[in-house]
A and B are shown apart, each in its own frame.
Chain A
Amino acid sequence: DTGVSQNPRHKITKRGQNVTFRCDPISEHNRLYWYRQTLGQGPEFLTYFQNEAQLEKSRLLSDRFSAERPKGSFSTLEIQRTEQGDSAMYLCASSPSLNWENNEQFFGPGTRLTVL
């Protein structure tokens, strides 16, 4: 399968714990995005990378959230001191380029986080 993969698929943690999610984009896709989706809502943008550079962060991304893409390939999203409000599906997507007609995003299956 050459699609976007995410691990783990499910994570249950206690409030106050740190969690880390991983995303492997489609090979050679330059751009990688993180979204959060809660029940009854569409995905909401969190941050994106162009290769290894993190170019934009949403105001939704509090100081407890950090994302990296150290070698321009896979990415990690870490949440420190989790809160119950962090419970959501965390989606990763990748796209091949920023070209006008080639910026379609391909989504992974998501990591569902439950904070108890």
Chain B
Amino acid sequence: AQSVSQHNHHVILSEAASLELGCNYSYGGTVNLFWYVQYPGQHLQLLLKYFSGDPLVKGIKGFEAEFIKSKFSFNLRKPSVQWSDTAEYFCAVYPWAGGSQGNLIFGKGTKLSVKP
């Protein structure tokens, strides 16, 4: 069965530290890839997405992610985190097969806590 793995359950960083959150998926075909963020008390919001083309995609608030097809990975990065980045981050994958779309599959999420 298709699945998405997020390696870190909880990451704690100090402000200005660099961030990398891992995401791997298990599906050999074509995929759309997403990172969603959920700030405390708010709903899920799209951070960035990959459909095709340049495997390095840039999202809102200085986040970026790199799609490495050979590694089935879509890691999220930010060079310098801020206290306001404290949130839960979810990686999600849309698998495509035979021209039709599967269902959006989410990882379990990574909680990021940034200390001021």
Number of interface residues of A (CB under 8 A): 23
Known contacts A98-B101, A103-B101, A107-B43, A42 near B109 by CB under 8 Å: yes
Known contacts A91-B44, A98-B101, A110-B43, A103 near B108 by CB under 8 Å: no
Give the segment of B13-21, B45-53, B62-70, B77-85 that binds chain A: B45-53
Main DSSP-derived SS at the B contact region? strand
Main DSSP-derived SS at the A contact region? loop
Give the segment of A19-27, A43-51, A69-77 that binds chain B: A43-51
Task: Tell me which residues across on chain A come within 8 A of B34, comparing CB atoms.
Answer: 104
Interchain CA distance A29-B46 in the complex, whole Å:
17
Task: Tell me which residues across on chain B come within 8 A of A108, comparing CB atoms.
Answer: 43
Task: Tell me which residues across on chain A come within 8 A of B4, comparing CB atoms.
Answer: 42
Contact A103 B103 (CB under 8 A): no
Interchain CA distance A73-B108 in the complex, whole Å:
30
Query: Which residues does B use to contact A, with CB under 8 Å?
Result: 4, 32, 34, 36, 42-46, 49, 51-52, 90, 92, 94, 96, 101, 103-109
